[in-house]
């Protein structure tokens, strides 16, 4: 493969992500039995992974939800007789 004319420069964050993905790929291959790793290599890989990736088990999420309700008020009745007619339960047809 020919060398690139313009070299790609990754920032520190991108390099960390690439390294973390390589560690995860290696551990996945070990779990699937494709690669044999001694116990010391597995613990070293896990230690490096903890340095590069955040520990999500200790993350705490706090949120506050505000709910607003809209209530329709009945129209104002001019007198008590009109109010009683408006508030009377609907009659069911049997």
Give the pLDDT confidence of 39-58 residue by residue, as tens digits. 999 998 888 888 877 766 66
Q: Which domain holds residue 27?
A: 12-54
pLDDT score recorded for residue 90 = 78
Q: Confirm whether 34 is domain-assigned.
A: yes
What is the Cα–Cα distance from 33 to 26, expressed in whole angstroms? 11
Domain total in the chain: 1
Q: Confirm whether 19 is domain-assigned.
A: yes
Q: Confirm whether 60 is domain-assigned.
A: no
Whether 86 shows a pLDDT value over 70: the answer reads yes
Q: Confirm whether 20 is domain-assigned.
A: yes
Cα dist from 74 to 23, 40, 82, 91, whole Å: 66, 75, 12, 19
| CA angle 37–41–42, rounded 5-degree value | 80
Helix pair angle (39-52, 12-31), 10° resolution: 150
Closest CA to 83 of 73, 93, 91: 73
């Amino acid at each position: 493969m020919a060398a690139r004319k313009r070299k790609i420069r990754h920032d520190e964050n991108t390099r960390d992500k690439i390294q973390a993905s390589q560690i995860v790929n290696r551990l996945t291959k070990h779990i699937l039995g494709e690669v044999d790793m001694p116990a010391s290599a597995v613990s070293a890989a896990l230690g490096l992974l903890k340095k590069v990736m955040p520990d999500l088990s200790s993350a705490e999420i706090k949120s506050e939800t505000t709910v607003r309700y809209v209530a329709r008020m009945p129209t104002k009745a001019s007198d008590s007789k009109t109010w009683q007619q408006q508030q009377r339960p609907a009659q069911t047809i049997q």
